[in-house]
Chain A
């Protein structure tokens, strides 16, 4: 039995208010919004991995019925600025449509506008593009070495190559009796939401206003759209009351928006682009990290890891975007949950002729966690020690928090050993070991997977100045506005879109908690970008902390104002008064009280009874910075990355039929500690979904390319998303170590499950393969690849 909650609504198992509209099909997704006279875009895409665009003949397409326009890259480039890039790479310009050279198969070359999407596709086929194919490079290491250049003017394929040394790495290695070095690979996959990217734009020349409805999850989206379109930001109105059909990081769509925004203005017609699945997979620029790790650790006989050298090379595709920053965020948890004293970290981002990357759930942390956890497993194996015991020995202990890691971040709180103990007790670890033994005795390969990982949360942007000294953006805020109207109803406003995270429920719960009113009575609405307070959108597992925090503080301001009004009206010092259930009273003189209705009436109507100088009405805003945010990196690259650190511990059992190579997850238990849980249903869903996604990344999903540079997994028959069949039941063991930095002790959970699931699956599979003497250090571990590896190992054994 858990202790009675200190909260009234926070942490209680309440319904998610957004759900009601979704179950009846009344979500308002971007494709559901259809302005009168809407025209449709289809894209002409490059069929080569690299090609000179010799000519574009639009005449046949323009002559087709219902066709309004064919736009090419040259015209668009003339009228717009290049898209913003994260790094200082002016010679790697990125534009919505290729100009002169196309650099990956599927890159957009021209856009057709027609009365219907079908007619636009007909016309797109009729646009005759003459290509002169160019040499290309697909492999990240080859691109790093040189040879074919993706962008000639940049002079190299390297966007980023920076080595950080935190602590006495060489000395710590020299003092370590053992070292281990290995390579692990994270394959190219992404979050692949079921809704593709959708954007509709409408230009009103009389008001000089570009209205945008888009399925976005993106910080600084209106700013970037306005800058690229050369419009004042006050002429771009992004509507945030759009439900986003899944994102998990990738729904950025800035190039889509600049394209459609330009067309809407150029043609004087509302225009929309609904990516189809082929456009989305090939040219939607939403692929995730593709990362080669080279990890070396120095450790002692007890398995205590003293130092780590990590080289991470990410193949970011043909243009820069923000994706190289995904090598920066992991700096904030570069040692995972372990007391590794010193670290050398080389972060490399290289260009290749593959589709452009975008931010994917966990922003690079999940691949890094996978590399760390594979390494810890191998350290244990090398010493013949238990993998759990090695983790326990290396882990930061509860009493050591707040804990400063070598790269400059301080972990706020944690109790890793307790979470592990709880998971082992729940799972019956001895029974799992016995089950593994039974399976092995039956001729199966069986393995136990273990992964212990952190989820940095709260969403700072310190990786920007860390990797690009020209950028001073150190931190991000989020905001909430609350108005109590003159009849006493409460409306809270948020300033961004949501993609299933339940932010309306979050705000309602927090405001209800503070003001002691039924959360269901709190209306939560979304502003558009022109009447918004600053927000940085739901990225980096930040909204429980940041939007929840902003709502808390705004509600607190309302409460303070109500108390001040009551104090003045009653002629009693404010300190004597108590707020309860919306009313204010003096506990020492209970007849001295003002009800909610009375206070609201004073605020809105009886202005003469307000304290002198107080603003009439009951509207407040709060703009909250990230706790502990705002620091610039030191010269050696130490900086506080995210403020809060959730912990997850995965334990699973996998059985593999050795003749088929097909892994089957027999048991899956996760211990999860994200501090105070605001809504248990939401947090559980996030974790389950993250695990499913992680299983996909570990076993099924890969943007595979052919040798001739074409994306082979470009539809849902070849890019394999886990179905209900593939996701096993998962047991969650809950633990709460509150964060000292947040209003309720909450931490982030938006990426939970995904942080460790790939590492856990890899751990289990490798534990299963160990008796064969083989290691698989490359994701995804597809059935047939495992089957081939197992067969080769068995043949090798038979031969020797």
Chain B
């Protein structure tokens, strides 16, 4: 089937089987490899992308279901080549990762939180990333990264939709 996807603001046309997940389509057809397969059954969250600004599991969505939505992947967050968003930079500042495999998904989940909540509590941050399993960090430096990004964004008075 042919599917027309809006990903990171650009329109892409891909030829996929109905059974192709949005995750596999992003990786194999669109070569956006920032989304990762972890469990492929909707638990680990490594495949998280934003659909209309909300974090979803791209392994639990078929590509043919995704037309007409605005899909954002981690590749869509960086302001430009070699540049980091405030949130991405905060993850670097606190070292909110180790192997980097869950990181893009973690950042997207945090991005979705910060776009709705500019002053999240620790509990809200924990809850927002609780659907994303990280096996390396024990989450402490991830939670700190999100809190740091929120603080810096408030300081910079950035519009909430651009963390």
B104 to chain A, nearest CB (A): 4
Contacts of B37 on A, CB cut-off 8 Å?
A: 31, 196, 274
| New contact pairs (10) apart from A31-B37, A500-B98, CB-CB < 8 Å | A32-B33, A192-B135, A194-B36, A243-B100, A681-B141, A688-B139, A688-B141, A692-B137, A723-B133, A724-B139
Contacts A/B (CB < 8 Å), 25 sampled: A15-B93, A19-B92, A21-B100, A23-B74, A23-B84, A23-B100, A24-B75, A24-B104, A25-B33, A25-B74, A27-B100, A194-B44, A246-B135, A247-B99, A501-B98, A684-B141, A689-B134, A692-B137, A715-B41, A716-B43, A724-B130, A724-B139, A724-B143, A725-B127, A727-B139
Of A27, A690, A723, which is within 8 A of B101 by CB? A27
Cβ of B135 and Cβ of A693 under 8 Å apart? Answer: yes
Instruction: Provide the bound-state CA to CA distance between A729 and B142, in Å.
Output: 12
Contact of B99 among A23, A195, A196, A274 (CB under 8 A): A195
Contact B127 A19 (CB under 8 A): no
Question: Closest residue of chain B to A716, judged by CB?
Answer: B43
Contacts across chains A and B counted by CB atoms under 8 Å:
185
Chain A interface residues toward B at CB < 8 A: 15-16, 18-27, 29, 31-32, 118, 191-196, 243-248, 274, 276-277, 499-502, 681-682, 684-686, 688-693, 715-717, 721, 723-725, 727, 729-730, 753
Report A-chain residues with C-beta under 8 Å of the C-beta of B30. Answer: none
Knowing A25-B73, A195-B101 touch, does A721 contact B133 (C-beta < 8 A)? yes
The listed residue (A118, A243, A274, A500) touching B17 by CB distance below 8 A is A118
B133 A26 Cβ-Cβ under 8 A: no
A15/B95 in contact, CB under 8 A: yes
5 nearest A-B pairs in the assembled complex, by CB-CB distance: A25-B34, A22-B100, A500-B99, A500-B98, A245-B101
Q: Which of B117-163 contact A (CB under 8 A)?
A: 126-127, 129-143
Residue B103 CB within 8 A of the other chain = yes
Contacting pair B101 A29 (CB below 8 A) = yes
Q: Which residues of A contact B129 (CB under 8 A)?
A: 724
Distance between Cα atoms of A476 and B101 in the complex (Å): 29
Judge whether B38 is part of the interface by a CB distance below 8 angstroms: yes
B126 with A716: CB separation less than 8 A:
no
For the complex, what is the distance from the CA of A29 to the CA of B101, rounded to whole Å?
Answer: 8
Q: Max chain B CB contacts within 10 Å: which of A20, A192, A753?
A: A20
Counting CB contacts under 8 A, is B107 at the interface? yes
* Distance (whole angstroms) from the CB of A714 to the closest CB of chain B: 11
For B138, the chain A residues whose CB sits under 8 A away are 685, 688-693, 727, 730, 753
State whether A194 touches B100 (Cβ < 8 A).
no
Do the beta carbons of B133 and A194 come within 8 Å of each other? yes
Q: Does B88 contact A (CB under 8 A)?
A: yes
A715 neighbours in B (Cβ, 8 Å): 39, 41, 43
Specify which of B100, B126, B130, B140 lies most central, judged by the most chain A CB atoms within 10 Å of its CB: B100
Q: Which of A25, A191, A682, A725 contacts B135 (CB 8 A)?
A: A191
* Neighbouring A residues of B130 by C-beta, 8 Å: 723-725
Q: Within the assembled complex, what's the spacing in Å between the Cα atoms of A310 and B111?
A: 51
Min CB–CB distance B147 → chain A (angstroms): 12
- In the bound complex, do residue B95 and residue A716 qualify as a contact, i.e. CB atoms below 8 Å apart? no
Give the Cβ gap from B142 to chain A, nearest Cβ, in Å: 8
Contact assessment for A23 and B97 in the assembled complex, using a CB-CB cutoff below 8 Å: yes
Partner among A29, A192, A689 whose Cβ is within 8 Å of the Cβ of B98:
A689
User: How far apart are the CA atoms of A724 and B140 in the complex, in Å?
Assistant: 8
Compute how far the CA of A508 lies from the CA of B143 in the bound complex, rounded to whole angstroms: 27
Known: A274-B37, A716-B43, A717-B41. A688 touches B137 (CB 8 A): yes
Chain A hits for B97, CB < 8 A: 19, 22-23, 500
B77 interface hit (Cβ, 8 Å)? yes
Contact among B46, B77, B95, B134 for A681, CB-based, below 8 A: B95
Within 8 A of A (CB), among B43-98: 43-44, 46, 73-75, 77-78, 84, 88-89, 91-95, 97-98
A194 near B107 with CB under 8 A, answer no
Name the contact of B43 in the complex, choosing from A25, A196, A688, A717 (C-beta under 8 A): A717
Quick one: which of A27, A245, A247, A716 contacts B41, CB cutoff 8 A? A716
Contacts of B103 in A (CB 8 A): 22-23, 27
Q: Are A16 and B140 closer than 8 Å at their CB atoms?
A: no
Taking the complex as formed, is B22 at the interface, i.e. its CB lies under 8 A from any CB of chain A?
no
Distance of B156 from chain A, by nearest CB (Å): 18
CB proximity of B4 to chain A, nearest CB, Å? 22
B7 contacts chain A at the CB level, 8 A cutoff: no
Q: How far is the CA of A21 from the CA of B101 in the complex (A)?
A: 11
Q: Is B102 part of the contact surface with A, judged by Cβ < 8 Å?
A: yes
Taking the nearest CB of chain B, how far is it from the CB of A722, in angstroms? 8
Report if A23-B91 is in contact (Cβ < 8 Å); known contacts: A195-B101, A717-B43.
yes
Q: Contacts A24-B84, A194-B46: A29 and B74 contacting too (C-beta < 8 A)?
A: no
For residue A277, which residue of chain B has the nearest CB?
Answer: B39
The smallest C-beta distance from A15 to any residue of chain B, in angstroms, reads 6
Q: A194-B134, A723-B133 are in contact. Are A23 and B88 (CB under 8 A)?
A: yes
* Smallest beta-carbon distance B51→chain A, Å: 17
Known: A15-B93, A23-B91, A195-B99. A118 touches B19 (CB 8 A): yes
Known: A727-B139, A730-B140. A193 touches B126 (CB 8 A): no
Looking at the assembled complex, report how far the CB atom of B13 sits from the nearest CB atom of chain A, in whole angstroms: 19
Tell whether, in the assembled complex, residue B99 and residue A499 are in contact, meaning their CB atoms are under 8 Å apart: yes
What is the CB-to-nearest-CB distance from B98 to chain A, in angstroms, rounded to a whole number? 3
B88: nearest chain-A partner, CB-CB: A23
Given contacts A118-B17, A194-B101, A724-B139, contact A716 B92 (CB under 8 A): no
Contact partner of A276 (CB less than 8 A), chosen from B40, B89, B100, B131, is: B40
